[in-house]
Amino acid sequence: MRPLRLPALVTLSALAFVAPACRATSPVPPASPATAAPVRLPRGTPETHDIRTGPGVTRTLMLSDYHPSLAGTPGDTPVYVLEGKEPGGTCVVVGGTHQNELAGIFAATVLVETARVSRGRLVVVPRANNSAVTLRDEKRPAPEWVVIASPSTPPSASRRFRFGSRLTNPLHQGAPDPAEVRLPGASKALPGYEARNLDRAFPGSAEGPLTRQVAFAIVELLRREKADLAFDLHEAPPASRLSWMLVSHPRGLDLAAEAILELDAAGLPMKLEASDEGFRGLSHREWGDATPVLSFLVETPNPNQVEGARDVEPVSHPEYPLASRIAAQLQTVLTVVATHAASAPPERRIELAPGPDYRLIGRKGLGEFLLW
C-alpha cells in the first residue's frame, strides 16, 4: 500500500484536516479520583527492551527527574540526552507511547544508539509508557518478544525487545478504570479503559493514576528543557487513513508542509493533518497547547495492529517490513528537523553530525543500525 501523494502545489488550508491520532474517536482522560496513586514496584524492574547507550549520549536521566512521584513506579523510564558542541535548540523524540507500535520504539532506539548531535540537543524517551511494556494485547496476539539478529553471518548475537500494549497495565494504574473517559469540552465519552491510554492523558496531572502522571512528567520535560520541536512516534493499522501520516499542531503546519514536500521529492510521500482543537488529550495537540513547542506525530502502517489478526510476524512482514517503517519514521523526523534548522536562528537550530544514512535501514536491515 502506498500513501496518498500530495499535489505539488497545495495550500495550507487544504492540508489542514482534522487529525486524532491512532484512530481516536474522541478525547480524553478521566477525572482522577483524588486518592488514586500509582503502585510502587516491589523490587527490580520488569524485563523490557534491550536499549543500549550510544556514543552520542552525553547524559541519561529518568522521567522521574521531571516528576519525582514517578520514582520507583512502573511509569519511570530513561531519558537520553544527546548534546552537540555548538549551542542550539532542543528536539524531543518520544517512542513507545503505545508499546505495540514497534517502528516508533525502534526509531527512537536507533537515535539513542547511533545519532550524534553537532548543534543543540536531542532528548529521546524510547519507552514512554513503560508500564505498557508488560501488558499483552489479547485482541491482537503477537509474539511476546521481538528478536533482532546481529548483521554478521551467521548472526553472532541477538537483541530482544518486548511486544507490549497500547494501554498501561491495570495492575500499575493505581485506580480502577472509570465507567467512561471524558474531559471538559469533549464531544463524546471514550470507553473507561482509555484512562490507561497515554495518548489520551496529556497534559496529565501531578497526582492521580499512573498514566496521568506519566503524561504530566513528559509535558514537564518539554517545558523545562525549552523544547523547540517534539515528535511522538506511532503506528496505525495499514488500512487506517492515519497510516503514512504526519500530524502537526497548528503552529507547526507551515514547517510540516515544507517538510512534506521535501519528503515527497525524496521518494517518501507522507500525508499531513492538523491536530484539532476539539480532540483533547493527544500528544501533538496538548504538547503544543501547554508549551511553546512545535509538536508532531508520525504514523506508519503496522500489520500487527489489525484486530483479530493472529501471529503476524512483526519483523519481516512481506508488505510492511519493520525496517522500512523505521526508516520512514526517522526520515520524517529528521526532514522536519533539517527544515526547521534551515530557517531558525542558530541558537534554536538542532543539527546532527554526519552519521548513518537511516534511509538505508529498509535495505540493510535494522541490525546494521544497532549497537553490538
Pairing relationship of beta strands 294-301 and 78-83 according to DSSP bridges = unpaired
Residues 226-245: x/- map of binding to Zn ion (CB under 5 A)?
--------x-----------
| Cβ atoms 215, 209 nearer than 8 A | no
Residues 42-81: x/- map of binding to Zn ion (CB under 5 A)?
----------------------------------------
Partnered with residue 301 across adjacent β-strands are 236
Residues 7-26: x/- map of binding to Zn ion (CB under 5 A)?
---------------x----
Q: Is 253 in the site for Zn ion (CB under 5 A)?
A: no
Q: How far is the CB of 22 from Zn ion (least distance, A)?
A: 3
Q: Please identify, among the stretches 100-108, 207-215, 304-312, 333-341, the one whose residues bind Zn ion according to the rule CB under 5 A.
A: 100-108
Neighbouring C-alpha atoms within 13 Å toward the C-beta of 215: 33
CB atoms within 10 A of CB 52: 12
Toward Zn ion, which CB reaches closer, 64 or 129? 129
Toward Zn ion, which CB reaches closer, 166 or 340? 166
Q: Is 119 in the site for Zn ion (CB under 5 A)?
A: no
Q: Is 334 in the site for Zn ion (CB under 5 A)?
A: no
Q: How far is the CB of 196 from Zn ion (least distance, A)?
A: 13
Residue selected from 98, 212, 280, 284 as contacting Zn ion according to rule CB under 5 A = 98
Binding footprint of Zn ion on the chain (CB under 5 A): 22, 98, 101, 234
